[in-house]
Structure 1
Amino acid sequence: MRSAAEKLRFFHRSSSINFVYPFSASRQLKTSTITTNALTEEEVNQINAVIRRLCDSNHLKEATDLISAALTTARPPLASLPVSSLISRLASEPDLTYPMHLLNTLKFNPNSSDPSVVIPVVKMIISSLFENGRPKMVVKIFQWVARPDFPGGVAADLELYAGLVNGFCRNGMMLDSLRVLRVMACEKLVIGDEIRDCVYRGLLREARVREALELNAALGSCTPRSDGDTCVSEKVVHLLEQIISNWVD
């Protein structure tokens, strides 16, 4: 039976990438043409084992490439791969080189650019960066997500934005919280009571009393829904634009 890696094929600068086992510099998992995209349970286990070894030996580029190859070709269930543990490892690195490499590989491959693949990976990266005390790196991930060329358009995932707002508020980064809120408002996403309260309290902690009261009142005047959340209005968008443009640290 061919190894799992032999069933994965993707290109880098018009040539195949070889995955190197960390325990042998001369031994390589060479990619070849896929005859079927499906991976068996045994093959998924092989991939998991190789990724663990790559991470243990600090071969993070190769581990990232292998995860990307699996997600962009075979499309196994995300939970079947050690994506979360790999991302936790990448989040401890001094910069975003590997996380962004993973995200861009998924984004620009038509087989994996579906938001249902990209957004869960983005959430894992954001969560790990916050847990590692790196909120400024999260800003760059947010900017990447908010780009108009994000797969399917600007991401419309309430859980994603709620995590961003909450994380930025906890770290005293209220201007970034407001920028996330602005994206939500522009995309006409529902702003729940939890997000509203988080931003309100965060602004008060920053002694932005006027802004806190005005924004809270504007959100309070929006059309309520049966679940207690609110649908934002153009008034909220305009107010957020004004607060952000006038913000002085």
Structure 2
Amino acid sequence: MRLLIIGDIVGRSGRRAVKVNVGSLRKEFNLDFVIANGENAAGGKGITEDTARELFSGGVDMLTMGNHVWNKREAFEYIDRETRIVRPANYPPGSPGLGWAVYDMPGHVKVGVINLAGRIFQEPLDCPFRKADEIIARIKDKARIVIVDFHAEATSEKVAMGWYLAGRVSAVVGTHTHVQTADERILPGGTAYITDLGMTGPMDSVIGVKKEAAVGKFITQIPQYFEVATGPFQFNAALIEVSEDTGEAVSIQRIQNYE
């Protein structure tokens, strides 16, 4: 089975990048399933029903989220009923939406997707490591192929999660920092790993926002209004091949496309 996992989609440029790239990549690599992180898809922070539908119509099969999942209040009800979206599972009980889900594929193959958020330099959520244990115990009899999107700031926390889950899931992919790392590998036990998938959004920007505002804040230390940049896009993703029989990853390949 071949899966494409797309790094954080940011704003209009990111949504356009999905439309331009996903269809051709499906044909080129004979993709079976496309996952994308959509927590920045609507105006750079959060998601709405309209932006999610746009991504689904552009070829994305399901969306993971992150720390900006609650930025658009109008999305709360939508997230609660849309089974193609999962938000970090380590938010407190009672939060809208799903933290993990299992999806049926042709040939009676099932793919489980787990979304977790890190705690270093982020909100003090439940422990993502213990939450991973809890979900894996529940999902192991439902799906042989399991993908984990770990939305975290610190590279050390992501690497630790990769080793913690090595041999227990098919892939651990990091999101959130918007800069693609070059450390993709197959960990012992057949777990594909990359510290960060990168960003799908405006290329001439500082991790998605207008560069003038970001540079100005660093220079002056005065708060700036961060507006999503426009213009040419970058498309960052990873192509992962997984054995349907064992659930072990066979290969992982970074993808970087530009407009």
Report if TM-score (shorter chain) is over 0.5: no
TM-score (norm 2): 0.27
Q: Which has the higher contact order (CA 8 A, sep 6+)?
A: 2
Structure with bigger helix share is: 1
TM-score (norm 1): 0.27
Specify the structure having the higher radius of gyration (Cα). 1
